[in-house]
A and B are shown apart, each in its own frame.
Chain A
Amino acid sequence: MNRDRSPRRLVAVSMLAAGGLVVFVFESFFPVLPWFRPGFGNIATILALMFFGFGDALKVTLLRIVLGALIIGRLFTPLFVFAAAGGLASVLVMAMVMRSTRAFGPVGVSVIGAVAHNLVQMYVAYLLFVRSTELLIFIPVFIAAGVVTGILTGLVSAVIAARAGTRIGHAGWPVPDR
């Protein structure tokens, strides 16, 4: 765990939270498909995980989920419950993966996070709203969508880490070469 208590770190984490929030809100204006969004706000979570560890990544994610929902006006609606469950699952799973192995780079971690996000969202939909096993046929589609969006967000995270890494802070996770 990163023990750095410097203002530099506080600023970096705050910037990541704010940046992720802006991207999240901006993204919500342009739905590719109504129920499908690439989740670029997750870049902030991945960078926070790479540079500052689980605690700060959780803060960045929670702030984005709650403030984002407040801004786009869906706080405590069903969609908010989905997003919150998916976001929390994804940061938890990504942190566990990063803690247990260094085999995956930012792209792999991001793909795992995106797939976890989608599957947990679907599970929550099943538990809370539609208790119908017919939802199962969506699993392959959700996995495929998670792979695509995970690769995209992971690549952007990797590029940002490679280019601006030293300005964000000291990486506790291998940063790809430029």
Chain B
Amino acid sequence: MKVLRYFTRADIVLITVLVALAGAGIVFARRAAVPGNHVVVEVDGRRVMELSLDQDVTTSVTGPLGDTVIIVRDKGVFISDSPCANKYCIHMGPLRRSGEVAVCVPNRVVVIVTGGAGTGFDGVVE
């Protein structure tokens, strides 16, 4: 491989370690993620609303820029409209698993799915 000459041995060790770390982290996060049953909405770090994932509802919260519209449908939650310029939060799609988050940074809104089976772990290996 021609490109390999641009890597030193330390580069390869570093990349391997980081990939292993990230892979382990992602696997761990997936394992810990079970379907959630609860939605917590925070504005500016303060919890302003709690919803159940079992009940379809359309609601909104008010942030510094205006109203962010939040919809619960089919045991998933998503941001359907937001006054921010980028709309990244809308593109995050429906969240279903415990621990999943949609964030609208400009409007300071965080939508978090919580709950599910007990602690969020489906087993402890000893």
**A residues with CB within 8 A of B:** 34-35, 78-79, 101, 103-108, 111-112, 115, 125, 129-132, 134-135, 137, 139-141, 143-144, 146-147, 151, 154-155, 158-159, 162, 176-177
**B residues with CB within 8 A of A:** 3, 5-11, 14-15, 18-19, 21-26, 29, 42, 45, 86-88, 91, 99, 101, 103, 105-106, 108, 110, 112
Q: List 20 A-B contacts (CB under 8 A).
A: A79-B86, A106-B6, A107-B15, A108-B7, A108-B10, A108-B14, A108-B15, A129-B105, A130-B45, A132-B101, A135-B101, A135-B103, A140-B24, A140-B25, A140-B29, A143-B21, A143-B25, A144-B26, A146-B18, A176-B5
- A141 and B22 contact, Cβ closer than 8 Å, known pairs A105-B8, A106-B6: yes
- Tell me the minimal C-beta distance from A119 to chain B in angstroms: 11
The reply to whether B21 and A155 contact each other, CB–CB distance below 8 Å, is: no
CB neighbours (8 Å) of B86 from chain A are 34, 79
The reply to whether B6 and A125 contact each other, CB–CB distance below 8 Å, is: no
| Prevailing SS type, chain B contact patch | helix
- Tell me the minimal C-beta distance from B7 to chain A in angstroms: 5
The reply to whether B18 and A115 contact each other, CB–CB distance below 8 Å, is: yes
- How far is A141 from B29 in the complex, measured between Cα atoms in Å? 10
- How far is A51 from B68 in the complex, measured between Cα atoms in Å? 48
CB neighbours (8 Å) of A111 from chain B are 11, 14-15, 18
- Tell me the minimal C-beta distance from B125 to chain A in angstroms: 20
Once A and B bind, how many residue pairs between them come within 8 Å at the CB atom? 100
- Our pick among B15, B19, B91 for the contact of A34 (Cβ within 8 Å) is B91
CB neighbours (8 Å) of B110 from chain A are 130, 132, 134
Query: Residue of B at shortest CB range from A158?
Result: B6
CB neighbours (8 Å) of A137 from chain B are 29, 99, 101
The reply to whether B25 and A139 contact each other, CB–CB distance below 8 Å, is: yes
The reply to whether B21 and A140 contact each other, CB–CB distance below 8 Å, is: yes
The reply to whether A131 and B45 contact each other, CB–CB distance below 8 Å, is: yes
The reply to whether B15 and A147 contact each other, CB–CB distance below 8 Å, is: yes
CB neighbours (8 Å) of A131 from chain B are 45
CB neighbours (8 Å) of B24 from chain A are 140
Interface centre among B11, B101, B112 (most CB of A within 10 A): B11
CB neighbours (8 Å) of B10 from chain A are 101, 103-105, 108
- Our pick among A35, A103, A177 for the contact of B8 (Cβ within 8 Å) is A103
- How far is A157 from B5 in the complex, measured between Cα atoms in Å? 13
The reply to whether A105 and B11 contact each other, CB–CB distance below 8 Å, is: yes
- How far is A159 from B112 in the complex, measured between Cα atoms in Å? 44
CB neighbours (8 Å) of A35 from chain B are 88
CB neighbours (8 Å) of B101 from chain A are 132, 134-135, 137
